[in-house]
Amino acid sequence: MRRRGRSRGDRGQVAIEFLGMTPLIVLTLVLMWQCVLVGYAFTLAGNAADEGVRAGTAAPRGARPGVCSDAALKNLSGAWRDGAEVDCGGTGFVTADVSLKVPVLFPGSIDFPVTVHGHAGAVEEVKD
């Protein structure tokens, strides 16, 4: 004996459930990607601050802010460099603070009103 009602009632159910879940899957992937961008921005800001301080400790005091800022921005790509702010200073103990804006989905597009900060410091090199 064959059951007709049961075999036809569930037909296409998996496709309907998948279509219903697709927006949730896409939203989850977008949120995960945004979290990756935030983490990457923190990594870039910290690395830029380290590079700036490294160059600033070896530079003469008068040229230190320019050398420090140039070194901090050197390895940032154009999309990240556009919104970057670098502040270098200190005497005896050189510091660099780098602020980067967090992009929405892709660097170079719209930025969140959130900035991430990287800070680094090192003792000034003494030259005799």
Domain definitions of the chain by residue range = 4-123
Asked if the model's pLDDT at residue 16 lies above 90, the reply is no
Q: What is the pLDDT of residue 79?
A: 79
What is the rounded distance in angstroms from the CA atom of residue 26 to the CA atom of residue 118? Answer: 31
SS3 103: strand
Q: Does pTM surpass 0.85?
A: no
How sure is the predictor about 2, in pLDDT bands with cuts at 50, 70 and 90?
low
Q: How confident is the model at residue 113 (pLDDT cuts 50, 70, 90)?
A: confident
The C-alpha atoms of residue 49 and residue 64 are separated, in whole angstroms, by 14
Percentages of the chain per state (helix, strand, coil), in multiples of 5: 55, 25, 25
Give me the sign of the Cα torsion angle 63, 67, 68, 70.
positive
Tell which residue, 89, 118, 88, 121, has the closest CA to residue 101. 118
Residue that has been written with the tokens 């050197």 in this structure: 74
Select the more confidently predicted residue: 85 or 60: 85
Give the pLDDT confidence of 34-80 residue by residue, as tens digits: 899 889 989 999 999 988 888 888 777 777 778 888 888 888 888 77
For 64, residues 6+ apart whose C-beta sits below 8 A from its C-beta are 56, 88, 89, 94
| pLDDT tops 60 at residue 3 | no
Which tops the pLDDT comparison, 48 or 128?
48
Q: Which helix (H) or strand (E) covers residue 95, if one does?
A: strand 93-103
